[in-house]
Structure formats: C-alpha cells, structure tokens
Amino acid sequence: MVKAVDSESLVPFDFEYLLQRIPEIGILPGIFDTDSLDKPIDSSDIKPEHWLRLANRIRAGQEQYDGFVILHGSDTMAYTASALSFLLHDLEKPVILTGSQLPIGVARSDARENLITALEIAMMRNGHKPAIQEVCIYFEYDLLRGNRTHKVSAEDFDAFQSLNYPKLAEAGVHIKYNQSALQEKAPARDLPYAQAISTEISILTVFPGMQPAYVQSVLSQKVKAVLLRSFGSGNAPTDAWFVSALRQAIQSGIHIINVSQCNGGGVRLGKYEASKAMLEMGVISAKDMTFEAALTKAMYLLAQDLSPEQFKQAYEHNFTGELS
C-alpha cells in the first residue's frame, strides 16, 4: 500500500514502485521475475476468483521457479494463505505471503524486512529440496503455517499468531528453522486439484440471547454449508428450538460445521453437555482449525462432487497441516 498525494487514504501500488523503495532486493543471490494482477487491489476486495488465479499462476510456473512470494494486504492474508494451502496442497515448493502494517513510503515501514526475509526463505534449500514445501505467512520475524494463522492486531507489527501450531522459523541474525514443524509433502495426496471454489456458505455466530428469527434467517438461506461459530470447545445453547433448527437444516442437506470462536484450542464435540446433541445429529467438527482455514476448506470441498458422508469425512481429515 502507498499513501496517495494530498490524501489520508491508502491505495494499492504496483511492484515497480516497491523495487524502487527496496533496492536491497537487487543484492540477494537469486533471479526474480515479477507478476501482478491486472490491476492492484486492496486486500479487502480479494475474492475466491483471485485465489484461483493465484493458484493457477503458481502451478503454471512450478517447474520454472524454486519458490513464490506473494505481496498481499494483511487484512485478508490469512484467508488467502488458507485457501492456497488447499488449492496447492501437492506443490512441493515454498509459497510465502507477506506484506506490512505500515506503507512502504513511511520511514518506519515494516515492509522492507518482511519482503527481503520472505524472499530469502523462499530461496532456502535443504540439499536438493526446498527448505519450505508449503504455503506460509512471513510477518515480523516469524514464519507461520498459512492455514494456522490468524490476524490478531490492526496496530502491532506482530500482527499474526499461530496459537495451535508452532512457528516454522524465526528470523534474527540467522533464520532458525523449526525442523520438526516443517511439512514435507508426500508423493501422493488425497485432495483433487480444484478448478472451482464454492461460495454457497453462511456464517451463524451464537451469542447469549440470540433469537429464533435470527437463526432461521441464516439457516433458511439457499446455501450448502453453514459455519456455526460456537463457544469454547464447540458449545452452543441447548434450547429445544435451536437444536431442532440445526437438525432440520442437516436433514435438508446443509452441512453444519462447528468452529470455535476462540483463536486457541478447538472444537471437541460431546466434551460438554452443551455440544452432545450436535455430536449425535452429525454436526461436523472443525477441530482446532482457524476460522479462515475452516471457511476456505469448506469452500474448497463444496466445489467437489461429494456425498454428505464423504464431505464430513474429508472435512474432519487433516490434508495439509490445517488441523491436529
């Protein structure tokens, strides 16, 4: 992002501007090609079609390049990283998303270090293989698994956290890799290569005092799945009308996916009485996935031709490090 002249608003910039601001890129021991969307956009305008375009461009260059760095606004970075982790689940190359909290034109901007280190990590090799073989986010000295990452601050440079999975690497004078946490891709994967993403999904957030009309307004929409944002480890009100509404939605063919409102921990259906009914009726558990991963995984799987049983089995299965 860059601040427009005579304006307090931030507007997207193109890559040539960034190269002028960070000449240190030229001394890195690598050869870089650049590409961009037809028109730079704010990350708030990112849509699933952009995820597909990014995935297709990376796949087209997977034999030509050793790694990929994506410059992305921080607001929706975790969504894009999560979506790409499924779309590129079989890619044995690093895909590093990075950005900044302050625009590159500001003296204290964090963009310079974030980009330079992300490029260095993308070039890192471990023998004949890339050191990183997954989609990640690099931000403020930390390399995090993309589908385990959540933005936690709009003000701090340390804007992202991965509460349910350890850091993949930490940058100081040297870059220290957490080898036990790194993912090495298996030769064969169970997920198909998707040519589509489904947006036929709604969000139902439970809260004290919610009314039946609110719940019905969400569950009556023409969607294929509803993410139920529950309390704690998957708990929700046990009112008869609420339990009945969920059961009727499932019987009508809607996938109900239980994802915790908490950033740390995850869903454990049946642990408490408040979630036992959901377990019995077949509500799907997002386990310890982030909200971003839970949403984009549902979007990915909804585009496949899966039966309700196949969808539930696939959703609760760990494909690319998104859940424990």
**What is d(CA 163, CA 277) in angstroms, rounded to the nearest whole number?**
28
Query: How many helices (H) does the chain have, and how many strands (E)?
Result: 9, 16
Res. 3 pLDDT band, cuts 50 70 90: very low
pLDDT digits (tens, 9 = 90+) for 169-192: 999 999 999 999 998 765 445 666
Q: Which amino acid is at 92?
A: E
CA neighbor of 99 nearest in space, from 117, 122, 85: 117
pLDDT digits (tens, 9 = 90+) for 222-245: 999 999 999 999 999 999 999 999
Hey, which residues does 130 pair with through a beta bridge?
Answer: 125
What b/e sequence results for 121-133 when a residue is b if at least 16 CB atoms lie within 10 Å of its CB, and e otherwise?
Answer: bbbeeeeeebbbb
55-69, 128-142, 179-193, 214-228: range with lowest mean pLDDT? 179-193
**What is d(CA 7, CA 185) in angstroms, rounded to the nearest whole number?**
46
Using CA atoms, how far residue 49 sits from 22, 45, 46, 61, 278, in Å, is: 30, 11, 8, 19, 33
Res. 32 pLDDT band, cuts 50 70 90: confident
Using CA atoms, how far residue 148 sits from 77, 78, 151, 269, in Å, is: 12, 8, 10, 21
Q: What are phi and psi of 107, to 5 degrees?
A: -60, -35
**Confidence at residue 184, expressed as pLDDT on a 0 to 100 scale:** 74
Tokens of 161: 């956290």
Tokens of 68: 């990929």
**What is d(CA 118, CA 105) in angstroms, rounded to the nearest whole number?**
19
Name all domains of the chain by residue range, CATH numbers in brackets: 2-181 (3.40.50.1170), 201-315 (3.40.50.40)
Q: Ranked by mean pLDDT, which of 44-48, 126-130, 156-160, 224-228 comes out on top?
A: 224-228
Q: Ranked by mean pLDDT, which of 38-52, 172-186, 275-289 comes out on top?
A: 275-289
Q: Residue 4 pLDDT more than 60?
A: no
Q: Residue 11 pLDDT more than 50?
A: no
Give the residue carrying structure tokens 């590129």: 88
Neighbours of 144 (CB within 10 A): 24
Q: What are the helix (H) ranges across the chain?
A: 15-21, 48-60, 77-87, 111-123, 212-219, 240-251, 273-281, 291-302, 308-315
